[in-house]
Amino acid sequence: VNKCAVVQHILKAYSKEPKREQGTFFAPSNIALCKYWGKRDTELNLPHTSSLSISLGNLGAKTTIALEQALKDRISINGKEVDEDSIFSKNLSHFLDLFRPLNSVFFRVATEVNIPIGAGLASSACGFAAVVGALDQLYGWELPLSLLSILGRLGSGSASRSFWHGFVEWQAGHDADGMDSAGACLESVWPALRIGVLIVDSEQKKLSSRIAMQNTVLTSPFYKIWPEKQARDLKDLKKAIEKQDFMALGETTESNALAMHALMLTTSPPILYSQASTLEAIDKIWHYRQLGLPLYFTQDAGPNLKLLFLEKDEEAIIKIFPKLIVVSPFNIGAFQC
Amino acid sequence: VNKCAVVQHILKAYSKEPKREQGTFFAPSNIALCKYWGKRDTELNLPHTSSLSISLGNLGAKTTIALEQALKDRISINGKEVDEDSIFSKNLSHFLDLFRPLNSVFFRVATEVNIPIGAGLASSACGFAAVVGALDQLYGWELPLSLLSILGRLGSGSASRSFWHGFVEWQAGHDADGMDSAGACLESVWPALRIGVLIVDSEQKKLSSRIAMQNTVLTSPFYKIWPEKQARDLKDLKKAIEKQDFMALGETTESNALAMHALMLTTSPPILYSQASTLEAIDKIWHYRQLGLPLYFTQDAGPNLKLLFLEKDEEAIIKIFPKLIVVSPFNIGAFQC
């Protein structure tokens, strides 16, 4: 099954012509507490395991899309035109190929992002989600979010989780065409929860997570245990969220991230996203936790960390990490799942 | 089965009285290329898997033991009396309890060690091996090295590998009393092989490997894959040694060490022996290897690294790591297995 077939299947009864001048959509970024690492289908970004994320509230991407009378797509980020030969442009144009009314029709895509790009803040997740949402608006499909989630997944796996606020579960699904592999939000709200983004190195990552996870699946002898670990962690996380048990949430989140990085260490050749500064930060987190501060971390395909803590400890934690970017995931007006 | 029963079984036909005034024995330190991590019997130090090491030539411990007219053991290291209340003294005296002619008889134990103690250089391995060898001399048992290896293992698992020069395999064995769990040396010599000891932090380790490996066995979800990985690595290492294939030796050694540390990351609570300076050194090793320098590392239960390289690259590598302690494992006069 290829991407094009999935898009045609989803959109067969829907308009192929824009209904409006332009479409606009905001998608929050999301941080996985239970990771997405390894695809069972690399064309459709179908994962081996389900995953669970927290959206970053008002941090994310807002994209506006319109048809463009031109011979190519015009893509801008934060008002700046993006070079058409960049990998970013090529990837996005390739994705937009799935949605053109005619092959000869191009788009103007303007994205406003209020998070650092490529710093492990899931900018591609919210980016692809915002593009899909904006296309939905432009064409007037009014698809349910679960179908937008499937379309977003075709651009970037974790985009499937960026269509909701709060906690979002991406169910792995079983179908070959991935029609059962979509995000869905959990109803729980946890207003006191805070996510802290700790940038220890803002350079672009050396190895893309796409290649890293593929190498892990192919070569890590421990990967066959990963689905068990994921199933247990997902269950524990959902229970922790339901009970608002912060220690259980933090411990499981941290353990899940460390297991993902352990998988990478056993990949051939080994993958090590941590840097010296990452280990220093982890040491600091563990040191203060031993002193009684409820502070946990997670880490994605890069050296930066995302901290988990509660509102009551925000002041103390900012004193420890003065450059921390603090996010209140539920401080988004009315929460609706 | 307890230690005492094993010692009585091995020594039942041998002298319980010293044959000489004193006994002296030198045991080289050893570095595991295929690690020992996890016990199937914590009393007898019986491992879950076989392991393979390289001895460090003239680096190790030389111990002299004699009976002492006193009310306690007298223990010295490098000419300095060791405090009888130290953990070191207590552990050694406890081990010596297995070998006293009478409970009321004590020993004088003088050890000369020419490696830094507690810096991950397997000082306990060569230490216990030297004590056992010196007892053999003192009592005049003239036990075969395979039996001395079993006695040494009762003090410290990796001591079972410190009775030979060169490459030594410690077969895990299957018997409940561990009589089939002993070291044996490989016949291969590899004179061009070099081991570099890179001390990035000389502080004592925070968590003993004894506790760390036990927690790993009990809590790491990946531990059940470890025996498979070990069996494959051991086979690959023996083939690499036989063929003198340095790249295969280095890659398998490094992969084995990374897998052991990956296991620790997935232990609950997580165990992280690496420090910022460890990662910096690893980055450097990988950087120069990408440039074509055949240089690999292994890491034990501490932040320091042991480098593997060949004689021909020694000069270049010392330029990169000026403080490197270089060992020639086969520069020991006549090699005999």
pLDDT along chain B (337 residues), means of 10: 95 92 96 98 98 95 95 95 91 96 94 78 89 97 97 97 97 98 97 95 80 97 98 98 98 98 98 96 98 97 95 98 95 80
Mean local confidence (pLDDT), A36-60: 97
pLDDT confidence of residue B57: 93
A258 touches chain B (CB under 8 A): yes
Of the residues A230, A266, A287, the best mutation for testing chain B's interface (the one with the most B CB atoms within 10 Å of its CB) is A266
**Cβ-defined contacts of B297-300 (< 8 Å, 24+):** B297/B198, B297/B254, B297/B257, B298/B31, B298/B32, B298/B33, B298/B253, B298/B254, B298/B256, B298/B257, B299/B120, B299/B257, B299/B261, B299/B273, B299/B274, B300/B31, B300/B32, B300/B35, B300/B120, B300/B122, B300/B209, B300/B257, B300/B273
Span A153-209, pLDDT tens digits: 999 999 999 999 999 999 999 999 999 999 999 999 999 999 999 999 877 667 889
> How is residue B13 written in tokens?
């036909």
- Peptide bond preceding A269 in cis form (omega within 30 of 0): yes
Is A214 exposed, middle or buried, given 0-12, 13-18 or 19+ CB atoms closer than 10 A?
middle
For the record, the structure tokens of A246 come out as 């912060």
CB-based contact A154:A132 (threshold 8 Å): no
Whether residue B225 and residue A229 make contact (CB cut-off 8 A), yes or no, is: no
B183 and B234 in contact (C-beta within 8 Å)? no
How far B6 CA sits from the closest chain A CA (Å)?
36
Among A111-120, A172-181, A255-264, the minimum mean pLDDT is found in A111-120
Chain A: nearest CA to B259, how far in angstroms? 5
Confidence label for A118 from pLDDT (cuts 50, 70 and 90)? low
Q: Look at B225 and A225 and tell me if their CB atoms are within 8 Å.
A: yes
Distances (CA, A) of B194 to A77, B114, B308, B328: 53, 18, 6, 5
- A282/B272 Cβ within 8 A: yes
B42, two tokens: 């914590």
Burial per residue of A5-36, b for 16 or more beta-carbon CB atoms within 10 angstroms, e otherwise: ebbeebbeeeeeebeeeebbbbbbbbbbbbbb
- Interface residue A266 vs chain B (CB under 8 A): yes
Rounded to whole angstroms, how far apart are CA atoms A85 and A91? 10
For residue A108, the one-letter residue type is: R
Q: Which neighbouring-strand residues pair with B196?
A: B307, B326
Q: How many CB pairs under 8 A join A and B?
A: 70
Distance CA A137, CA A71 (A): 23
Distance separating the N- and C-terminal Cα atoms of chain A = 31
Mean pLDDT, to the nearest integer, of A260-275?
97
Q: Enumerate residues 6+ apart whose C-beta is below 8 A from A64.
A: A22, A23, A24, A109, A110, A111, A134
Cα gap A17→A30, rounded to integer Å: 31
Helix then strand then coil, in percent of chain A rounded to 5, is 40, 25, 40
For residue A61, is pLDDT > 90?
yes
Task: Give Cβ neighbours of residue B21 (< 8 Å, ≥ 6 apart).
Answer: B66
DSSP B107: E
Please spell the DSSP secondary structure of B226-273, one letter per residue: HHHHHHHHHHHHHHHHHHT-HHHHHHHHHHHHHHHHHHHHTSSS----
pLDDT one-digit tens code per residue, A196-236: 999 998 776 678 899 999 999 999 999 999 999 999 999 99
Q: Which helix (H) or strand (E) holds B210?
A: helix B209-219
Cis peptide bond prior to B269, omega within 30° of 0:
yes
Conformational region of residue A37, where left means phi above 0, alpha means psi within -120 to 50, and beta covers everything else: beta
- In terms of DSSP bridges, do strands B74-77 and B106-113 run parallel, antiparallel, or are they unpaired? parallel
Q: How far is A72 from chain B (nearest CA, A)?
A: 39
Give the pLDDT confidence score for residue B88 in this predicted structure.
86
Q: pLDDT at position A115, please?
A: 82
Q: Do B277 and A277 touch (CB under 8 A)?
A: no
3-state secondary structure string across A231-269: HHHHHHHHHHHHHCCHHHHHHHHHHHHHHHHHHHHCCCC
Q: Is the pLDDT of residue A98 over 80?
A: yes
Among B206, B258, B264, the strongest candidate for a mutation testing the A interface, having the largest count of A CBs within 10 A, is B258
Nearest C-alpha neighbor of A155 from the set A185, A132, A171, A123: A132
Does B266 contact A275 at a Cβ distance shorter than 8 Å?
no
Q: Mark yes or no for CB contact B261/A265 under 8 Å.
A: yes
- Chain B residue with minimum CA distance to A269: B255
pLDDT band at A93 (very low <50, low <70, confident <90, very high): very high
Nearest to A255 among B228, B255, B268 (CB): B268
- Say if A229 is an interface residue toward chain B (CB within 8 Å): yes
Q: How far apart are CA B213 and CA B208, in angstroms?
A: 9
pTM of the predicted model as reported, rounded to 2 decimal places:
0.94
Is A153 an interface residue toward B (CB < 8 Å)? no
Q: By the CB < 8 Å criterion, does A279 face chain B?
A: yes
d(CA A189, CA A334): 11
Of the partner residues A224, A259, A276, the one whose CB lies closest to the CB of residue B279:
A276
**How large is the ipTM?**
0.91
